[in-house]
Structure 1
Amino acid sequence: MKKIIYLFFLIFFCLGGLSGCGGGTAAEQGKAAEGVLQLHNHDFEEEQVYTLDGEWEFYWKQFIEPSSFPAASSSSVYVNTPGSWDEKIAAGKPLPNEGYATYHLQLLLPETIKESVAGLYIPEVATAYTLWADEKIIAENGSPGTAREVMEPDHHPRVVYFEPEEEAVDLVLHVSEYHQRKSGWWDSFYIGSADGIQKMRDKNVAAEVFLVVSLLVMALYHIGIFLLRPKERSPLYFSGICLAVAMRTLFLGEVLIQRFFPAVPWELGLKIEYWSACAAITFFLLFIHAQYKEDSDRRIRNGFLFLFAMIFLFILVTPARVYTEGMLVLQGSSVLAISYLIYVLITAMRNQRRGARAHVAAMTILLAFVVNDVLHYNHVVNTGETVSIGMFFYLFAQSFILSNVFTKALNDSEQLSERLEKVNQTLEEKVKKRTKKLSEANKDLEQSYKARRELMSNISHELNTPLTSIQGYMKGMLDGVVDRNQTKYFQLVYDKTLFLKQIIDDLRELAKLESDGIQYHFTEKDIREFTHELYLVYKEEIERKYITFRFEDRLPVSDAGYAVSVDPIRIEQVVSNLLFNAKKFTEAGGNITLVVEEKDDSGKSWISIAVQDDGAGIKEEELPNVFERFFKGNAVKEKAEEGVGLGLAISTEIVRAHEGKMRVNSTEGEGSTFYFLLPRTDSRP
């Protein structure tokens, strides 16, 4: 687990480096002061870019044409960029978000750039603008106006190229905002050579394409897992997170959606950006709850789901100028939801749930990215949008966790198969040796003869039914009563032969157990973890019958755990027998619970492993005989279930070899509880 966490942090730093490369790194330079930015001391190298941050001249509620721009004076007003103009104080109070203004910046460029092509990277400017360079329009986004009715909103990053005719270049920018809560711009303008700006833009696009494609691949992969295992909802919710984050990434940063669908309306694009954030958090809540139901609170989860559903509807029915004002509600709700999920994961980690520790590390880093974006979009820090990278990191980490779980389950299954094969080979050899010893021994002949006669009588009775059925079908085929071309009768005959084989195998197993002919391989196990692993192994198979299967850990919390010396394969055989008996007599829609707890019996502390069901139950007069060989209750006969009646007898012998006890509690029509007690020991001699 530590190695996995170290890997996550390594990926985190790599992604940090990727985001840094993608954003373009500006050279060391000064900032604009009083509307002038001096870059004449810098050489515009091939990949070097420079920001236009600093003080721009600012003319509120004025659209000044470049040809009639006034000279700077002591009364000129300046605003710091990047930033919103509502941070500017005028007449003792901040400017409103809605309005229009003219920005002006004089660039002093090096002589080497004169009459060559320069590149300019323009970030998102809220919410429409026109940009001049030396009285020539070089960029437009939307249509700025002096009122909402006369402007057309649009904002997405652009790259433009122009040829400076002189070393001094005047940039004049008309901006208007009447459609959302933000104004001005919150990321940097960049200038440099044409190649330098283009390469910076290409890095930005490549980074976002990498994120989107990776998220889509992860989404498709987990949708495939869900289609193969539709009862397991976690992959479906995980793919929903991937799709929501991929969609949000398309509408942020370089706004890649504009490259594929340039006709998408501005208002619709902004709604989808907000909706995708709601959808991502919603799928997060469902995903974590599906993985850690025992550690989360359904009411809190439903409360958050209701809250984000209301935010979704609010965005749907209101225009951007209304719902963007509620951005803090969405941001605050997201931070609270992720904080709650971290609390759930910490609880799961304390309860020693698989993968919880690595999950906590990934979610904590994601929360840091979310908080950073909340601060960025509220102009507290200027780091750029990073939550997409944080989400990608989290999803990649979670994908690794899920893959690790599936791989471990597969490895455990392969190892168990190999061990069972070896055990079967060993048991067969033991049976042969035991048979040889019995043939050589000649003691207690009267008792052996009586037991053999009783055994043969029971065996004859059990074998007679399937043999009679086989004989009837075959006779019918020979006489022509049954059509030989009907494959269903061959299938019935084949099924009866399988049942005969089951009877013979069970008899052989019981004989070995009763004669102590099986060698047990005891090992120390934490019974809590061991029982939970068995629950996971049989969960899917039981729930395939539409039965709810639960695991209840009633052991007190203990750092030392509960050590029990067992043969894992044989104890699994006992639990498997009890589970499938419960499954057989529980109708669809019923419940089966695997319980591990500590019990006192005869003044001694025991570990109890119980299988509870709400099925048919057992009559009181039948309870003393349920562990006898070949015993079948009325419930079996009424359901016409084929059974040998040896499973519980075999289980009893295995538990006896562990110095334990088998018990049963049952009420007819209400269900049964079969359980066995194992002594809690530190070692077995």
Structure 2
Amino acid sequence: MRTLVVMFLVWVVMLTGCSKEESIPRVNKGEVDFSEFSLSSTNHSYMLSGDWLFAPDTLVDPEQSWPEASAEYLTVPKSWEFVPYLNGKEWGREFGTYRLQIRLHPDDVGKTLGLKISPIASSFRMWIDGRLLKEVGAVGTTVSTAVPHESQEYVFFTPQSSKLQMDIQVSNFAQRKGGIWNDIYMGDQEAIRAKSLPPVVRDCMSAGALLMMGLFYLVFASLYITDRSTLFLGLLSISLGLRTFLFGEVLVTFFFPDLLWEWKVKLEYFIEIAAILALNQYLRSIFPEHFSKNVLRFTYMIFGLFALFVLFTPAIIFTQCLTTFTVMITCSLLYSSFLVYARAVKHRRLGARSGAIAGIIAFFAVLSDSFYYLSIPLTSEGLINTGFFIYLLTQMAVTVRRYISLKQDSAALTMRLAESNEELEHKVMQRTRQLTESYRFNSRLLHNIVHDLNAPIALIRQQTKLLQVHVQKDGINHLTLIEQQSEWAVRLAQNLNDLARLQENKMNFQPSSMSMEEMLRFLYKRTEPIIRGGGFKWSHKALDELFEAVTLVVNIDLFLMERVFDNITSNMLKYALPDGNVSLSYAKRETVLEIIFENEVASLSDETLDRMFDRFYQQGPEEGGSGIGLAVCKEIVRLHGGQIHVDQPEKERLQVVISLPIMR
């Protein structure tokens, strides 16, 4: 109930603020009498409303005789669309002439008086005592001769007698309305001048405020891209700001006088359509569960079709559909202002109550503005800006509240996240300490195992060599097998020991400078007996390319690289085809030396190629091995600042490439 009372009071205030000026004395049978008081001394203006003499379908010049037979009295202000018959018969409602006899107080003779003429549809010429004072557009009797143009006009003149005759010719072939459907005021020049500037200033301030508000919302939307509601609110504000240039005191005509009248009218419709769609999109974005998506699509379809209708038809056609357009706007605002906000209020959504009140005020403001242009009594223009300004202010407050709420939620979430991070860091540190201790324990255990294995393995190898002297020829093969397996166990123990040291970063790494030629010679001598001894063919690339004036040097730990070469050679032989060819080569690429092991192998899977240097990886249990040697090779090469990788350029060819940096 309180909400309804508030709405009623706001409605009364809005109507009171837009009430018309005093209209006494009233025009009666084509005459108005100001002889009882002086217009020049009252500092007031009076509306020339009442029954004007009117000649339909005739353009009468002041010097011509008045056509008494067809003349009739016509109410001003009133649109021709509501006067289909005059003198009992239908008339064209396309052009005609108004005449008014004015009696002045003797004191007003020789004093400057003024007229404020609101837009007349849609072109006119005005004379006072036979003198042409104003022409807007081009008055004609056909579509081709009439040029429409509407603007607010202010006319000043000095009467030479106390009796004046005002003649106004009007033509309209452009829109639904016609004739003098707006107010005409007459008064002292100061009173008329006082009326000219404030409306323009008011509209400028209103448009400026709306445009600034729209800019504020757009900047806000650019900062918070995920929240699209402020974007649509900004578009709504800008649409209403632009609308101010096309209504009221017609600022667009004031600033852009050469703009075609028909396109001005089209722009009015387009901007109103844009404003309605922006409002619906805004409500959909803040109340998605209450604003139906199907209703939004239907709104876009209906208003989109109407926009196309306005675009491709002349004003005389689409302005006839103003009632339809008003019904469309009313239905859209009824749904948004009442149904959507009612649901939001019921669910206690943020800003729903204040938005509902402001939305209802804006609805009635739009209704009053629309009904005014339909010439419905007790309505007024100019309320739409006031109504929507109230609505936009409430939404600005709601937006700020939502932002504050989001910031508070974000601060609370940040605090909870910081607490969670602190707790997680504590757990990670605790777990890291546990893993470090376990890692150290495993490394120590691995060192102890390797140490304990070395002693018995060394003893077994020693005893095996002693037994070879006393064992018969048939037992030599068994002793040889024992020695080979002992050697494999020694290599495994070395690899385990190296792996443990690498994990602890305690590897004894002592690099020294060595020429590339010397290192490759060492590699060739080291690998040739192993490869030939395994029954494979061995080949290598000549070292001629290394005979340069400047010796090329690599920085290596030869003891560790010997481990790398042995491990790679043994693995190459393990994968090689029987009686296959094993080759060694090199390539110098700018600051890198590549050492290439290549052999003939059966096709390997992609998984094997990718994981060959992973710790403990084996292609299959039947392959044997521990899966440690190549992993140790990778770590040792990394210590030298190099890289190692495997490639299979052909189906039965395998390459292992070691890349080492060159020092000059």
Same fold (TM over 0.5): yes
Work out the CA distance in 1 between the residues paired with 2:87 and 2:130: 32
Q: Please, which of 228, 236, 259 is the counterpart of residue 233 of structure 1?
A: 228
Structure 1 residue 400, shift from structure 2 partner: 2.5
In the alignment, which residue of structure 2 is the partner of 1:305? 300
Equivalent pair of 2:350/2:398 in contact (CA under 8 Å):
no
In the alignment, which residue of structure 2 is the partner of 1:399? 396
Would the alpha carbon gap of residues 36 and 293 (structure 1) be closer, same or farther in structure 2, given more than 3 Å must change?
Answer: same
Larger Rg: 2
Structure 1 residue 253, shift from structure 2 partner: 1.5
Return the letter of the residue paired with 2:247.
Answer: L
Structure 1 residue 456, shift from structure 2 partner: 6.8
Tell me the SS of whatever aligns to 1:391.
helix
Does 2:256 match 1:256? no
Work out the CA distance in 2 between the residues paired with 1:404 and 1:47: 48
Q: Please, which of 358, 371, 374 is the counterpart of residue 370 of structure 2?
A: 374
Work out the CA distance in 2 between the residues paired with 1:414 and 1:118: 67
Work out the CA distance in 1 between the residues paired with 2:72 and 2:95: 15
In the alignment, which residue of structure 2 is the partner of 1:77? 72
* 1:49-105 Cα deviation digits (max 9, x unpaired): 10001010000011111122439x7984101110012333236465444x1100001
In the alignment, which residue of structure 2 is the partner of 1:441? none
Would the alpha carbon gap of residues 96 and 403 (structure 1) be closer, same or farther in structure 2, given more than 3 Å must change?
Answer: farther
Work out the CA distance in 1 between the residues paired with 2:437 and 2:334: 63
In the alignment, which residue of structure 2 is the partner of 1:595? none
In the alignment, which residue of structure 2 is the partner of 1:500? none
**Percent of counterpart pairs with the same letter?**
24
* 1:585-639 Cα deviation digits (max 9, x unpaired): xxxxxxxxxxxxxxxxxxxxxxxxxxxxxxxxxxxxxxxxxxxxxxxxxxxxxxx
* 1:535-558 Cα deviation digits (max 9, x unpaired): xxxxxxxxxxxxxxxxxxxxxxxx
* 1:174-203 Cα deviation digits (max 9, x unpaired): 000111111113221011111111111212
Would the alpha carbon gap of residues 16 and 415 (structure 1) be closer, same or farther in structure 2, given more than 3 Å must change?
Answer: farther
Work out the CA distance in 2 between the residues paired with 1:405 and 1:9: 29
Tell me the SS of whatever aligns to 2:25.
coil
Would the alpha carbon gap of residues 393 and 109 (structure 1) be closer, same or farther in structure 2, given more than 3 Å must change?
Answer: farther
In the alignment, which residue of structure 2 is the partner of 1:181? 176
Would the alpha carbon gap of residues 307 and 294 (structure 1) be closer, same or farther in structure 2, given more than 3 Å must change?
Answer: same
Q: Please, which of 211, 215, 239 is the counterpart of residue 244 of structure 1?
A: 239
Return the letter of the residue paired with 1:396.
Answer: L
Q: Please, which of 103, 106, 109 is the counterpart of residue 104 of structure 2?
A: 109
Runs of 4 or more consecutive aligned structure 1 residues displaced over 3 Å after TM superposition? 5-20, 73-76, 91-97, 407-421, 455-459, 462-465, 471-476
Return the letter of the residue paired with 1:168.
Answer: K
Work out the CA distance in 2 between the residues paired with 1:152 and 1:293: 48
Structure 1 residue 461, shift from structure 2 partner: 2.8
Structure 1 residue 390, shift from structure 2 partner: 2.0
In the alignment, which residue of structure 2 is the partner of 1:166? 161
Equivalent pair of 1:87/1:95 in contact (CA under 8 Å):
no
Would the alpha carbon gap of residues 458 and 341 (structure 1) be closer, same or farther in structure 2, given more than 3 Å must change?
Answer: same
Work out the CA distance in 2 between the residues paired with 1:163 and 1:464: 109
In the alignment, which residue of structure 2 is the partner of 1:642? none
Return the letter of the residue paired with 2:290.
Answer: D
Work out the CA distance in 2 between the residues paired with 1:461 and 1:16: 80
Equivalent pair of 2:72/2:86 in contact (CA under 8 Å):
no
Would the alpha carbon gap of residues 108 and 298 (structure 1) be closer, same or farther in structure 2, given more than 3 Å must change?
Answer: same
Does 2:434 match 1:460? yes
Equivalent pair of 1:31/1:54 in contact (CA under 8 Å):
yes
Tell me the SS of whatever aligns to 1:231.
coil
Tell me the SS of whatever aligns to 1:108.
strand
Equivalent pair of 1:376/1:384 in contact (CA under 8 Å):
yes
Superposition pairs of residues 279-428 of structure 1, within 5 angstroms:
279-342=274-337, 343-381=339-377, 383-410=380-407
Q: TM-score, normalised by structure 2?
A: 0.60
Cα RMSD over matched residues? 3.7
Would the alpha carbon gap of residues 32 and 472 (structure 1) be closer, same or farther in structure 2, given more than 3 Å must change?
Answer: farther
In the alignment, which residue of structure 2 is the partner of 1:153? 148
Work out the CA distance in 1 between the residues paired with 2:23 and 2:48: 12
Would the alpha carbon gap of residues 107 and 403 (structure 1) be closer, same or farther in structure 2, given more than 3 Å must change?
Answer: farther
Structure 1 residue 120, shift from structure 2 partner: 0.4
* 1:404-448 Cα deviation digits (max 9, x unpaired): 332454467678989999x99xx99xxxxxxxxxxxxxxxxxxxx
Equivalent pair of 2:23/2:48 in contact (CA under 8 Å):
no
Work out the CA distance in 2 between the residues paired with 1:102 and 1:180: 18
Equivalent pair of 1:87/1:94 in contact (CA under 8 Å):
no
Structure 1 residue 16, shift from structure 2 partner: 5.9
Structure 1 residue 6, shift from structure 2 partner: 11
Would the alpha carbon gap of residues 414 and 70 (structure 1) be closer, same or farther in structure 2, given more than 3 Å must change?
Answer: same
Structure 1 residue 121, shift from structure 2 partner: 0.4
Work out the CA distance in 1 between the residues paired with 2:393 and 2:386: 10
Superposition pairs of residues 4-23 of structure 1, within 5 angstroms:
19=18
Work out the CA distance in 1 between the residues paired with 2:60 and 2:289: 64
Structure 1 residue 242, shift from structure 2 partner: 1.1
Return the letter of the residue paired with 2:434.
Answer: S
Tell me the SS of whatever aligns to 2:297.
helix
Would the alpha carbon gap of residues 319 and 456 (structure 1) be closer, same or farther in structure 2, given more than 3 Å must change?
Answer: closer
Equivalent pair of 2:119/2:150 in contact (CA under 8 Å):
yes
Return the letter of the residue paired with 1:64.
Answer: V
Return the letter of the residue paired with 1:344.
Answer: V
Structure 1 residue 376, shift from structure 2 partner: 1.1
Superposition pairs of residues 415-454 of structure 1, within 5 angstroms:
none
Return the letter of the residue paired with 1:399.
Answer: M
Does 2:58 match 1:62? yes
Return the letter of the residue paired with 2:384.
Answer: V
Return the letter of the residue paired with 2:348.
Answer: Q
Tell me the SS of whatever aligns to 1:323.
helix
Work out the CA distance in 2 between the residues paired with 1:204 and 1:246: 15
* 1:224-253 Cα deviation digits (max 9, x unpaired): 011111121111101111111111110111
Structure 1 residue 144, shift from structure 2 partner: 0.5
Superposition pairs of residues 257-272 of structure 1, within 5 angstroms:
257-272=252-267
Return the letter of the residue paired with 1:460.
Answer: Q
Return the letter of the residue paired with 2:80.
Answer: W
Would the alpha carbon gap of residues 392 and 67 (structure 1) be closer, same or farther in structure 2, given more than 3 Å must change?
Answer: same
Provide structure 2 residue ranges, at least 5 long, that are not aligned to the other structure: 444-500, 512-664
Tell me the SS of whatever aligns to 1:79.
strand
Q: TM-score, normalised by structure 1?
A: 0.58
Would the alpha carbon gap of residues 170 and 235 (structure 1) be closer, same or farther in structure 2, given more than 3 Å must change?
Answer: same
Would the alpha carbon gap of residues 460 and 143 (structure 1) be closer, same or farther in structure 2, given more than 3 Å must change?
Answer: same
In the alignment, which residue of structure 2 is the partner of 1:39? 34
Would the alpha carbon gap of residues 14 and 400 (structure 1) be closer, same or farther in structure 2, given more than 3 Å must change?
Answer: farther
Equivalent pair of 2:57/2:91 in contact (CA under 8 Å):
no
Equivalent pair of 2:24/2:46 in contact (CA under 8 Å):
yes
Work out the CA distance in 2 between the residues paired with 1:174 and 1:153: 13
Would the alpha carbon gap of residues 347 and 67 (structure 1) be closer, same or farther in structure 2, given more than 3 Å must change?
Answer: same
Equivalent pair of 1:376/1:385 in contact (CA under 8 Å):
no
Structure 1 residue 374, shift from structure 2 partner: 2.4
Work out the CA distance in 2 between the residues paired with 1:472 and 1:84: 99
Q: Please, which of 39, 45, 49 is the counterpart of residue 45 of structure 2?
A: 49
